[in-house]
Structure 1
Amino acid sequence: MDIRILRYFLAVAREESISHAAKALHVSQPTLSRQLADLETELGTTLVIRGNRRISLTEEGHFLVKKAKEIVALVDKTEANFKQPIGSVTGEITIGAGETEAMGLIGRSLHSLLTEHPGIRFHLYSGNADDLMEKLDSGVLDFGLVIEPTNKEKYEYLHLPAVDTWGVLMRRDSPLAALDTITPEDLANHPLILSRQTTVDNELTGWFGRDIGDLTIVGTYNLLYNASLMVKEGIGYAVCLEKIIPTPEDGELVFRPLNPGLHAGLNLIWKKHGMHSAAANTFLDHTRRTIHAKKEDPEG
């Protein structure tokens, strides 16, 4: 499978038109149509349904779009990491993370890195732990910032000197807002909006003392911002990490920590036995230094 043809296919999927994609790619429409047909023949499946005005993807086409994006991103990253002048460190680093204030520490490391090596570029991907680990395993991501626990058989890791606190995001006028902390009994029979992360299910099951499926769950979220809008509409209470959504004193929402307290340690992980570029290795060195400095001066 030719990487150039995958780029052609992604252009067709993006433009939803072979003629528009051909214009964007600076190739003739017959050439692009032939290349697309050859790709379908090679894979033994139909990827697009050709309409009068636009094309649509088949189920197999949608699957290939996802995989082709990962393949093209990996090729582009690999090429970029080979294009570095002798004696300098350049290239690209891809970092995935969930929503956490600890990204500030990663930002501090990146600032130090880019000051010393301005030829390096970084790319951030936001997602939950399940998304990140899939992309780490495929090589699309170099690093992932995830809450504990970490599968230490599959991943190397750096433990960050940061802890996230679990609690409940709710409307300021909700009955539970008068409480300082939230117990499992307080949430009984209230509509809940929970994270979709597998590891979160395990942690919350232990805290609630019952199976997640026994709770009144009205919805789930991947990233918290959109869930916070559902909370504002009075749909339910979002169980989440602190400080991701601002809760000013005059705002509509408030955050209350869980009781007993539930806290999440954070690890920067990467695939075990994986080969890193010079840029990625240099980022690791700077991150270790940043962690050491944070431990020496917690207020710094």
Structure 2
Amino acid sequence: MTILQMRYFLTVCRLQNITHAAAELHIAQSTLSQAIQTIEEETGLNLFVRSGRAIMMSQDGQRLAQKVTALLREVDLFETDVREMARRHGKIRLAIPQQQASFIIPRLLNTFCPAHPEIDLDIIEPSGLESARLVREEKVDMAIVNYDGETMPELHYRRITSRPIKFVVWQGHPLEHCQSISLAEALQYPLVLLSEEFFVTRLLTRITVKRHLELNALYYSPHLSTLYSLLRAHTAPSILFSQAVISLDGVVTIPFDEPLALTSCLITKKSRQITKDQRLVMKFIREQLLLDSMKS
């Protein structure tokens, strides 16, 4: 009896109907009937009592179903272990949005990868919301995002540290030496912002709607480099996660006089087992983010 035949057999046992079982298995009814007949011929057992279209398990059928159930449980565990082994020896797919990428990718490539040559990192740089979607769809194993408080129920969020959102101007701007600014004052200026796929903009939009404030966005861009160019060209101020501009020359960050922040976190899918190698990557990222937070 093959593994496939065992699965066919248990489906028929559960539904007690060949037609319904064939539909659930997405196979022809004749194929399923032949498979059950083959099992009975190979085992020498009468597994079902038939009455028209209705079928019921015989005593031998019930005993065989118990043994097959136990055996398939072990097969499923074996297949899970094999997949786990394959993932350990494969790539770790990691999504890092742009606001974190300039900070964490050099540390991963310069420090983590040389220390762990056996781990192959496959890093991409989508937006924050897209990173979360990629984890949910299992197209990446994990992501670092600037969490804004809204969650996807399929994902596990491991919070690490909160960092402020700041008003960003260029050197020479009239507000360059301002110690702090209110959100209402900042919104009096036309702004260049990251697109709505980024958590910082999603959070800003929710707050302005809730407070009945008007967000005057001159331009939305999916690229931080574009915003940097617009800031350097003195086009308009911006509102960004503090880490996005921490190493950028020619700009000035002004804190808000109320707490506006995003929380850096690692996200994984709840239904996916975390491998040993993935835990090493997560531990390194967590340590780097906490270390950077203490220095600031």
Would you call these one fold, judging by a TM-score over 0.5?
yes
**Cα gap change, 1:132 to 1:172, in 2 (>3 Å):** same
**Which residue number in structure 2 is paired with residue 263 of structure 1?**
261
Structure ID, larger Rg = 2
**Which residue number in structure 2 is paired with residue 282 of structure 1?**
277
- In 2, Cα distance between the equivalents of 1:105 and 1:138? 23
Asked if structure 2 preserves the Cα contact closer than 8 Å seen for 1:247 and 1:255, the reply is: no
- In 2, Cα distance between the equivalents of 1:102 and 1:221? 17
**Which residue number in structure 1 is paired with residue 227 of structure 2?**
227
2:194 corresponds to 1:195: yes
Q: CA deviation at 1:90?
A: 2.9
Residue correspondences, number:
209
CA deviation vs aligned residue, 1:156-214 (integer Å, no higher than 9, x gap): 13222x322211221212222231112123224311112223543452245545457x3
Asked if structure 1 preserves the Cα contact closer than 8 Å seen for 2:135 and 2:143, the reply is: yes
Asked if structure 2 preserves the Cα contact closer than 8 Å seen for 1:176 and 1:186, the reply is: no
**Which residue number in structure 2 is paired with residue 70 of structure 1?**
none
Q: TM-score if structure 1 supplies the norm length?
A: 0.57
Asked if structure 2 preserves the Cα contact closer than 8 Å seen for 1:127 and 1:223, the reply is: no
**Which residue number in structure 2 is paired with residue 157 of structure 1?**
157
Asked if structure 2 preserves the Cα contact closer than 8 Å seen for 1:194 and 1:219, the reply is: yes
Asked if structure 2 preserves the Cα contact closer than 8 Å seen for 1:193 and 1:237, the reply is: yes
**Which residue number in structure 2 is paired with residue 52 of structure 1?**
none
- In 2, Cα distance between the equivalents of 1:102 and 1:261? 24
Aligned residue for 1:122, secondary structure, equals: strand
Q: Can you give the 5+ residue segments of structure 1 that lack an aligned partner in the other structure?
A: 1-79
CA RMSD of aligned residues (A): 3.7
**Which residue number in structure 2 is paired with residue 142 of structure 1?**
141
**Which residue number in structure 1 is paired with residue 168 of structure 2?**
169
- In 1, Cα distance between the equivalents of 2:268 and 2:110? 17
Asked if structure 1 preserves the Cα contact closer than 8 Å seen for 2:104 and 2:285, the reply is: no
**Which residue number in structure 2 is paired with residue 133 of structure 1?**
132
Asked if structure 1 preserves the Cα contact closer than 8 Å seen for 2:181 and 2:257, the reply is: yes
- In 2, Cα distance between the equivalents of 1:204 and 1:292? 28
Asked if structure 1 preserves the Cα contact closer than 8 Å seen for 2:168 and 2:238, the reply is: yes
- In 1, Cα distance between the equivalents of 2:290 and 2:167? 29
- In 1, Cα distance between the equivalents of 2:106 and 2:266? 9
The amino acid of 1:258's aligned partner reads F
Alignment of 1:1-300 (within 5 A): 89-98=88-97, 99-100=99-100, 104=104, 107=107, 111=111, 115-116=115-116, 118-148=117-147, 149-151=149-151, 153-160=153-160, 162-197=161-196, 199-205=199-205, 207-208=207-208, 210=211, 214-246=214-246, 251-275=249-273, 278=275, 281-285=276-280, 287-288=282-283, 291=286
Misfit runs of 4+, over 3 Å: 80-84, 101-114, 197-202, 205-212, 288-300
- In 2, Cα distance between the equivalents of 1:220 and 1:121? 34
Asked if structure 2 preserves the Cα contact closer than 8 Å seen for 1:106 and 1:287, the reply is: no
- In 2, Cα distance between the equivalents of 1:252 and 1:131? 30
CA deviation vs aligned residue, 1:66-124 (integer Å, no higher than 9, x gap): xxxxxxxxxxxxxx99769xxxx5320111122127953994699457625x2221011
Asked if structure 2 preserves the Cα contact closer than 8 Å seen for 1:169 and 1:256, the reply is: yes
Q: CA deviation at 1:130?
A: 2.0
- In 2, Cα distance between the equivalents of 1:296 and 1:188? 33
CA deviation vs aligned residue, 1:124-168 (integer Å, no higher than 9, x gap): 1112122212322332211111122252521013222x3222112
